[in-house]
Structure 1
């Protein structure tokens, strides 16, 4: 008599498209504390050495996409997974590249941490409240603002009712995990957070860099100092990696439930 499969494991790959293993280890620390189904496995991937160690501008984004796409094509790695999360806070072309391969990889679910953060904020915001992003260098101000507009299908001026904007620290992704003195990280992230919160009615703060994982308390400390304990306690600080994994876990379930077998 044949055995029947009654329950499937969900396997999610968190893909770091830069070549920093230190940053990948930082992502792993946050992922270990997530509450997920016992049948969900989360694995990590670090891009080959040809990819930039820190993705700081548009050229780095494109280079990382080329390097990772080539590596995944050569290894066939994605055939082992149900979902993949691109852990770069940008409008990363790899999200689209992999989504186009969905049929090839048996209904692979694909998301980026940028998109996951927007979805999460909009699902959590109360009426008349806003969300915004604190991130790294100056390049990302226009890149991410345009990306939010594109993702939501709106004109830039229409974003002001919910989107409080992008504030930058002047650091790069690698600085958040040992690249500079931790005191400088705290200072620069604190300043960017203060500028964002000063815009008023900000309920969700998105950490706009995968390297910021684990730095939520710096953001909350600014909220506490300037606006009091209740505001700091209720402020939602969004880690795009954890948000993305949670959304992908549900996305895989929904595809299994609602797509034709």
Structure 2
């Protein structure tokens, strides 16, 4: 690590689509953590888009051997796939075996935690995701993460029908329309916070905000929390490293 930096974080895109990795960089840069070095990793092989749990498992198999060689190079690791991605526990296990105690999180875990911290305990959050299969997958992930069904805290997952890579290749007007439709369904279910449920949605927070204002009016629409998992993950890791936890 460059001596000009106090700490380092590896931001991991476990699919092979470099454009998704590149889309994360402006989000991190805007946080202005000038004493932290951020480096980016794109899967060297595997799948171009993680569209289900099988894809997640394949991506972990292709990434882990390379990442194991980097455990000493960085102080923290962020896995940028919106799921309970197996790389998160696998990296923790590898670090523990090496006698290294460094924080690892995924963008799913960090965004849900941010929502829960920012809402009253009677308010709920929802997730905007990609393909319809993620409704069940993320529903189970939320239950596992919270430790119970907690239906009063979870307004559900609504999807766009697009794969992660299509968020960057489909016409912008179509992506915006589908994102807004999914957001408005969550708002009608009572969601007070919206998670961007895919790393490929980087930069689409403004589209979600517009949907909130269209559905609820300007005053209430601006009060809805819109949480980007990459941003929340970086903030969590930065805080953890600074606190020395």
Shift of 1:105: 6.2
User: TM-score w.r.t. structure 2 length?
Assistant: 0.94
1:81 corresponds in structure 2 to: 74
Equivalent residue of 1:234, what SS?
A: coil
**Residue 123 (structure 1) aligned with residue 117 (structure 2):** yes
What is the CA RMSD across the aligned residues, in angstroms?
1.5
Equivalent residue of 2:65, what SS?
A: helix
CA contact (8 A) 1:24 1:45 kept: yes
**1:112-261 equivalent positions in 2, closer than 5 A:** 112-154=106-148, 156=149, 159-177=150-168, 179-200=169-190, 202-254=191-243, 256=244
Counterpart CA distance in 1 for 2:64 and 2:121 is: 41
Shift of 1:72: 1.9
Shift of 1:164: 0.5
Counterpart CA distance in 2 for 1:21 and 1:8 is: 25
Which aligned runs of 4 or more in structure 1 are off by greater than 3 angstroms? none
Counterpart CA distance in 1 for 2:139 and 2:117 is: 19
| Structure 1 unaligned blocks of 5 or more | 1-6
| Structure 2 unaligned blocks of 5 or more | none
Shift of 1:137: 0.5
2:13 corresponds in structure 1 to: 16
Counterpart CA distance in 1 for 2:236 and 2:206 is: 23
**Residue 91 (structure 1) aligned with residue 87 (structure 2):** no
Counterpart CA distance in 1 for 2:122 and 2:115 is: 13
1:60 corresponds in structure 2 to: 55
1:4 corresponds in structure 2 to: none
Counterpart CA distance in 1 for 2:30 and 2:242 is: 21
CA contact (8 A) 1:78 1:105 kept: no
Larger Rg: 1
CA contact (8 A) 2:14 2:63 kept: yes
Paired residue total? 241
